[in-house]
Each structure stands twice: as C-alpha cells, then as structure tokens.
Amino acid sequence: MITASGGTPETTVGDHRRAASRGPQVPHWRPAFMVIGVSIDVIIGMVILQALAMDRSLGPRFNIPAGSITVCSFAAFIAATPVLERAVFPLWCRATGALPTPMKRVGLGHFVNIAGMVVAALVERRRLGIVSVHHGANEAPEWVTPMSVLWLLIPLGLVGAGEACISRACRRFLLLWGSISAVSTVFVDVVRRVTTWLPGNINLGRLDNLYWALAVTATVNSGYFLICVLLYKSSK
C-alpha cells in the first residue's frame, strides 16, 4: 500500500504475517539448512539398508517391507507438529514467559536431529556387534541380524520430530528438498569412493562411522547457525 503523503509503502498486517511465515531472516541461512537437510536425507536412505539386514518379522506371518520403514519418519513429523504446537511450546511459554521464536525452534530442531544421528550410530554399532559374534555372518550378504528392525524407529522418530521443528519455523526449508536430494546423492557417492564404510555387503561396512560423521557435521553446522543468529541480532 502507498501512502498519499510521502509515497512510502505502508506495512500491513498481511505483510507481517507473510514475513513471519517465511521464517527467520538470517543472513547466509541456506548452507545451515542444506547441511541438516542432507543429514536427514542420508539417514532416511541408509536405514533401508539396515532394515534389509535386520529381523523384520512381526509375528509368525508378517514381515515389514524394508522400504516402508522410512514411513515412520514422516509419521513422526506429522505427529510431532500438533504436539509441539499444543503441548511443548505452550509449556515453553509458561516457563519462559514467551513462545519460542522461529530461530529458537530451528535451534531445537537441530538439537533433536543430532540426537537422532547419534542414536542411529549406536543402533548400527549394536547391530554390527551382533554380526561380529556370529562366525562368518559378515561374509554372507543376505544374513539377517537377529535384532528387531523396530530399533530403527527411535532414530527415525527423532529425525522426523526435528524436521517438524525446523519446517514449522521456516517454510523455506521445504523449498530446498530438491537441492538436498541431489547433494545427498553426491555425498553418498563420495563416501563410497573415498572410504570403506559403504561396501556392497553392509555387514562388512561401517555405517555407524557415517552416522557419527553426520552427527559431528551437524553439530558444527549448529554452531554456524548460532553465529549467523548472533550476527543478525547484533546488526539489528
């Protein structure tokens, strides 16, 4: 809207709402969201390999399809959204006197996602430990680890909840998924070429090392995001 007096644009309530919906206007925010997005995408892809090598039976007649295990991450994303809005954030408001800002929600999402990566590494380390005590099992690509695939629900649930925190705070994060998928594919290809973590037989690999590397990278990335936030606040 243009004022009649000076010709300067007037800021309307709709402008404020649109600006808020775009999320925190932090300079250089894109790399921070790209790194966390690649980490999420890689984990969701890798758990399918883990599921193929784990016990997927639910009762005597039903096996969980390995590819469908990733649905748990999306289910956690959907379930976490109302829980955050109706329970977690109101409790936050009671404790602090104010609702968390979009930047704080993104920071919470970073923390939860890092926790998911750490749990994913611990689950895979446990699986590899079981493989190591069965002589010759690591040389059999189709050998199924006697460990329930339901263990994967924990890291997937954390990753989905963390993604819900970030996506609700900054809708621009959702617009990056096309680029994130391409970058994560390149990342996994590079890891295959320069390390021995992802061989054809997952029982001979070190997928846990990949998860640890993602957790460390995400932690450094959280520090970068915090610096961006501090610089943004100091410039206001």
Alpha helices per DSSP H over the chain: 13-21, 29-52, 71-83, 89-96, 102-132, 153-169, 172-175, 177-194, 207-235
Does 226 fall in a domain?
A: yes
Task: Find, among 172, 123, 137, the residue nearest to 25 by Cα.
Answer: 172
Residue % of the chain over a pLDDT of 70: 81
Does 194 fall in a domain?
A: yes
The end-to-end CA distance of the chain, in Å, is 25
Does 198 fall in a domain?
A: yes
**Better-predicted residue by pLDDT, 86 or 20:** 86
Long-range Cβ contacts of 228-234 (<8 Å, 24+ apart): 228/26, 228/27, 228/28, 228/29, 228/32, 229/24, 229/26, 229/103, 229/107, 231/27, 232/24, 232/25, 232/26, 232/27
Does 72 fall in a domain?
A: yes
Does 22 fall in a domain?
A: no
> What pLDDT, on a 0 to 100 scale, did the predictor assign at position 170?
65
The alpha carbon of 190 is separated from its chain's Cα centroid by a whole number of angstroms, namely 20
Q: Cα dihedral angle (163, 101, 82, 221), rounded to 10 degrees?
A: 10
Does 147 fall in a domain?
A: yes
For residue 106, what are the domain limits?
A: 27-57+66-235
Residue-wise pLDDT tens digits, 106-138: 889 899 999 999 999 999 999 999 998 887 677
Does 190 fall in a domain?
A: yes
Residue-wise pLDDT tens digits, 51-61: 999 999 988 88
Task: Find, among 117, 188, 191, 190, the residue nearest to 154 by Cα.
Answer: 117
Task: Find, among 130, 147, 116, the residue nearest to 212 by Cα.
Answer: 116
Q: Which of 38-47, 176-185, 218-227 has the lowest mean pLDDT?
A: 176-185
- The string of DSSP letters for 62-95 reads EE--GGGGGHHHHHHHHHHHHHIIIIIHHHHHHH
Task: Work out how many domains the chain is built from and give that number.
Answer: 1
Does 12 fall in a domain?
A: no
Summary mean pLDDT of the chain: 82
CATH number at residue 75: 1.20.1250.20
